Amino acid sequence: MHIKAQDNDSIIGELINKRNWFALDKEYQFRKNNIDNSYLKLLTEAILNIRFNKSDNAISTIDRFFKKYPNELSSITGASLYKEKVDLLVDKGDYDSAANELKSYLDKFSKSMPKDILENFEIDYTKYNILRNKKKPIIYKPDKDVKIPFGELTINLSPKNEKSLEPKDQTMILGVVKATVEDKEQIFLFDTGAEKTIIFTHFSNDINLHYYGDSINITGIKLAKGKEAILDSISLGEITFYNNDVTITDSPLDNPILKGVATNMIKGIIGLDLIKRMGEIQMYPHSKEIIIPHKESKLPPTGHNIFFENKGIIIKGFNKEKLITFLFDTGRDYSSMSYSYYRKNKDEIDNKYKKIDWMSFGIGGNSLLSVYRIPSFITSIGNVTFVIKNINVNTKSEFAYNTTYDGALGMKFIYKFKKVTLNTNKMFIQLED
């Protein structure tokens, strides 16, 4: 087969511009030996290593990229790539190197940086400079399978609003686990959609936290305020996480629209930062347990079908033959399609489906949304096809920030299956009926 290098370069470049990381992963493996443009090749490798959780390779590739193209450091692309490297160092707990990297960058380029990028770099430098002498986060896992009880919290929403909902009230189910903090078992929400582990304010006064940040912004349904601290340890079953960077904020369950919830019962949220460190989790919603296997599952024949973006897990799915991307978010009950999806399919949705009011709640409060209701949405993930009934389509952003994925899958998605396996080392999610 004779393939022109120029064709390979343009195809790879177009996939990067479209942010189609799944197709980029597949096409790059096929075309990389025929790509002449070393800039494009290094950039592609860096992006794929970042998105598919190969942290050490990503850091190494980014260093090689800037060594060969030092002038790119001052570009928008360069600043973004440099920040990705710093974030990877932070994930590894190498706060000292992260602070040094940001200080070096700011010393060279602060005068020419766009204001918003400069502010973000300065905020992060202040944080990592404080953390530079803190111990690295580590995880202890025994040499055996670990079982964790996986329960459910049922919430009834009764919005006090003149607008009526359809149905009038909403019932939600959220996943919860038992976690041990300072030798006492507590109940936490289990949330793959939360970037960091959270300790709720009402519980923070009962435990020993090492505060280092005050009055930070937390972006959820709305903007909220919080604090930052180091938690010495927290355990899920026989797995213990040490030296954890956590956020402290008010519980979203302490909300007047909720009925019959013992708000003080839930002490916080186990976030993606801890979930990711476990490598593989196997959720059995009907037998109410999570298993952390000692020996991880093999990558399925369907290959990678998740990647990381903005500290969230994005799943590759299909609606019939059309690619659909979903945020994997066990911190929500329902599945929904995003404002991004609505904009791409506005004419069809406006003309075909019924609009209702829907209440969304979470960190920062709650919001009454005007949504369309699709009665049946056929979805495929891996080699499994299923139907999501009565899925909402948001006509504006559900959160206080914009998203690019097409939808989000919550706990009711989990309950469709006997077993859901999430592996963040080999980057796949697998569903079993």
pLDDT, one tens digit per residue, over 134-169 is 899 999 999 999 999 999 888 776 655 545 544 455
Contacts of 115 (CB under 8 A, 6+ apart): none
What element of type H or E holds 93? none
CA distance 3 to 418: 45
What's the pLDDT at 4? Answer: 46
What's the pLDDT at 165? Answer: 47
CA distance 15 to 22: 9
* 297 falls within a domain: no
* 310 falls within a domain: yes
What's the pLDDT at 132? Answer: 92
Buried b (16+ CB within 10 A) or exposed e, 13-31: eebeeeeebbebbebbeeb
Q: Answer yes or no: do 61 and 29 share one domain.
A: yes
What's the pLDDT at 222? Answer: 67
Both tokens of residue 49?
Answer: 């290593």
CA distance 177 to 214: 28
CA distance 180 to 361: 27
Distances (CA, A) of 341 to 257, 289, 356, 372, 391: 28, 33, 17, 12, 13
CA distance 246 to 137: 11
Both tokens of residue 69?
Answer: 């193209």
Q: Answer yes or no: do 146 and 274 share one domain.
A: yes
What's the pLDDT at 251? Answer: 86
Q: Answer yes or no: do 357 and 381 share one domain.
A: yes
Q: Answer yes or no: do 384 and 287 share one domain.
A: no
* 348 falls within a domain: yes
CA distance 164 to 162: 6
> What's 88's domain CATH number?
1.25.40.10
Residue ending a domain, choose from 131, 152, 182: 131
Q: Answer yes or no: do 152 and 288 share one domain.
A: yes
Q: Answer yes or no: do 196 and 126 share one domain.
A: no
> What's 252's domain CATH number?
2.40.70.10
| Domain that residue 390 falls in | 306-432
Q: Answer yes or no: do 163 and 60 share one domain.
A: no
Tens digit of pLDDT for each residue in 25-45? Answer: 999 988 888 888 899 999 999
CA distance 44 to 352: 40
Residue ending a domain, choose from 243, 258, 292: 292
Q: Answer yes or no: do 104 and 184 share one domain.
A: no
Kindly give the parts of the chain with pLDDT less than 70. 1-6, 157-170, 220-223, 256-263, 361, 364-366, 399-402
Q: What angle do CA 289, 292, 298 make, to 5 degrees?
A: 120
**In a 10 Å sphere around its CB, with 0-12 CB exposed, 13-18 middle and 19+ buried, how is residue 430 labelled?**
buried
Query: Phi/psi zone of residue 337: left (φ > 0), alpha (ψ -120 to 50 degrees), beta?
Result: beta
* 300 falls within a domain: no
* 126 falls within a domain: yes
| DSSP letters spanning 107-167 | HHHGGGS-HHHHHHHHHHHHHHHHHTTSPPPEEE--SS-EEEEEEEEEEEE---SSSPPSS
Q: Answer yes or no: do 84 and 201 share one domain.
A: no
What's the pLDDT at 3? Answer: 41
Q: Answer yes or no: do 144 and 288 share one domain.
A: yes
- pTM for this structure? 0.90
Q: Answer yes or no: do 162 and 265 share one domain.
A: yes
* 427 falls within a domain: yes
Task: Give the three-class secondary structure for 7.
Answer: helix
In the chain, the number of structural domains is: 3
Both tokens of residue 129?
Answer: 């400079």
What's the pLDDT at 369? Answer: 80
CA distance 245 to 67: 32
Q: Answer yes or no: do 66 and 168 share one domain.
A: no
* 418 falls within a domain: yes
Residue ending a domain, choose from 89, 107, 131: 131
Both tokens of residue 37?
Answer: 């443009």
